[in-house]
Amino acid sequence: MKFRKKPVVIEAVELQWSTWSEMCDFIKQDIKGIYLDDKTFEVLEENKTSNTMGLVIKTLEGDMVARQGDFVIKGVNGEFYPCKPDIFEKTYEIVE
């Protein structure tokens, strides 16, 4: 059997330094920003910094890390989860 995804309008914000305050307003919960290694994107120890940011998101499946450039999506039940930019672009389009 084949299935088609139901058309659902979602809200999302791309994680960038310039969208941090928009992200905080969007998620409206205690969020934790983190630094990631600029090359490997691995989470750095708390006392280290870099140019690459990340965000720990509490999802229905547990804590997940959104990396700079990822989209954070608000699901149909108000839950949040990260989505890689290439998947986001293949799955969603802007609603006017």
With 90 as the cut, is the pLDDT of residue 4 above it? no
CA atoms of 70 and 77, how far apart (whole Å): 20
Q: Identify the bridge partners of residue 32 per DSSP, sorted by sequence position.
A: 56
pLDDT of residue 30: 73
DSSP string computed for 1-45: ----PPP---EEEE--GGGHHHHHHHH-S--EEEEE-TTT-PBPP
Q: What is the pTM of this model?
A: 0.85
Three-state secondary structure call for residue 65 = strand
Q: What residues does each domain of the chain span?
A: 14-90
With 90 as the cut, is the pLDDT of residue 19 above it? yes
pLDDT of residue 27: 92
- Summarize pLDDT for 20-61 with one digit per residue, the tens: 999 999 998 778 889 999 999 889 998 899 999 999 998 888
